[in-house]
Amino acid sequence: MLRLSATGLGCTRGSRSVFEGINLELSGGEALALVGRNGSGKSSLLRLVAGLLQPSAGRIELAGGAPQNTLAEQAHYLGHLDALKPSLTVAENLGFWVRYLGGDVAVLPGSLTALGLSGLVDLPAAYLSAGQRRRLSLARLIVVPRPIWLLDEPTSALDAAGQERLAALMRDHLAGGGLIMAATHGPLGIECKTLQLGRSAPSPLAGEGWGGGSEFVASAASQGGTPTPNPSPQGGGERSGARGTK
């Protein structure tokens, strides 16, 4: 059973502290939504877990995964950028990532169909719209099976149909025992826990429409990590939001 945990995580970018004292715990089959306003460190947290950024304090641990692989080698990272080369076709772009990340090329056509891209296989990626590019990035997630998904605003650039497709993919992934961490400004369409980053001012979207699951809130570094489930739909609250600077 997969378990991802982080204790006392802190992040510094440049000379400013983005956040400190983040604790989280995520098991296989669970999803965590990172919420907070811009600049609160959602992307930084994802990059920390992905190993693309070094934490200034704290530890990240993965239990139950493949012992010979690092966390990064068992995770997919979907950032703001699409990692697509405009002069390569859709098939060439996806085929490269499949081979580089160690997936099975035979699954490629099926994944393109699942994301509605099967008619564009030989089109150079330069001609794709923003939504199509996003879906092509998502195709990468299902062609190469990796248990941990780190998604940075995955619903951006997707229309309603695309968001439903994404929700279905995430549900399948969770059902298979994978875990998802996603930074987002809006509802993801699946059941998930929530982690509020940044100062008080609760997000108007917190609680309503987020799906069930407990409110899971970061606590200050000095107090260690005990989750305080908050029945109020207002979310976070003044006292227990993580200390972060704007």
Partner 1 sequence: MALIDLANPARFLALTARILPWLATATVVVFAIGLYLVWFVAPDDYQMGAVVKIMFIHVPNAWLAMGVWAVMCIASIGTLVWRHPLADVAAKAAAPLGAAFTFLALLTGSLWGRPMWGTYWVWDARLTSVLVLFLMYLGVMALWRTVDDPSRAARAAAILTLVGAINLPIIKFSVDWWNTLHQPASLLRMGGPAIHPSILTPLLVMALAFLLLFFTLHLAAMRNEILRRRVRTMWLMQAHAAS
Partner 2 sequence: MTPLSALLLRDMRLAIRVGGGALMGVLFFLTVVTLVPFAVGPDLAQLRRIGPAILWIGALLASLLTLDRLLAADHEDGSLDLLLMGTTPLELTVLAKAAAHWITSCLPLVIATPLLGLFLNLEPLAIGAVALTLLVGTPALTCIGLIGAALSVALRRGGLLLPVLVLPLTVPVLIFGVAASNAAVAGPMSFGAPFMVLCALTLGSLVLGPFAAAAALRHGLE
| Residues making contact with partner 1 (CB under 8 A) | 116-117, 119-120, 123-124, 126-129, 131-132
Residue choice 20, 30, 82, 215 for contact with partner 2 (CB under 8 A): 82
59 interface partner picked from partner 2, partner 1, none, CB below 5 to 8 A per type: none
Q: Which does 126 bind (CB under 5 to 8 A by kind): partner 1, partner 2, none?
A: partner 1
With contacts defined by CB under 8 A, name the span among 80-88, 109-117, 212-220, 224-232 that binds partner 2. 80-88
Query: Which secondary-structure segment (H or E) carries 97?
Result: helix 90-101
List, in sequence order, every residue forming a beta bridge with 11; answer none if it has no partner: 19
For position 16 contacting partner 2 by CB under 8 A, the verdict is no
Instruction: Decide: 29 and 175 in contact? Cβ < 8 Å.
Output: yes
Specify whether the CB–CB gap between 142 and 169 falls below 8 A. Answer: yes
- Compare residues 101 and 121 and give the one whose CB is closer to partner 1: 121
Q: Which is nearer to partner 1, 135 or 173 (CB)?
A: 135
Cβ contacts of 105 within 8 Å, gap of 6 or more = 95, 98, 99
| Residue 106 interacting with partner 2 (CB under 8 A) | no
Q: Which of 1, 15, 81, 222 binds partner 2 (CB under 8 A)?
A: 81
User: Site for partner 2 (CB under 8 A): which residue of 16, 59, 99, 246?
Assistant: 99
Q: Two tokens at 231? A: 């029945």
Taking CA atoms, 40 is separated from 36, 57, 177, 242, in Å, by 6, 17, 29, 10
User: Do residues 210 and 187 touch, judged by C-beta distance below 8 A?
Assistant: yes
Locate 113 and state its tokens: 């169909």
Question: Which of partner 2, partner 1, none is residue 88 near (CB under 5 to 8 Å by kind)?
Answer: partner 2
DSSP H or E stretch at residue 143: helix 130-143
Q: Which residues bind partner 2 (CB under 8 A)?
A: 13, 47, 50-53, 69, 72-73, 75-77, 79-85, 87-88, 92, 96-97, 99-102
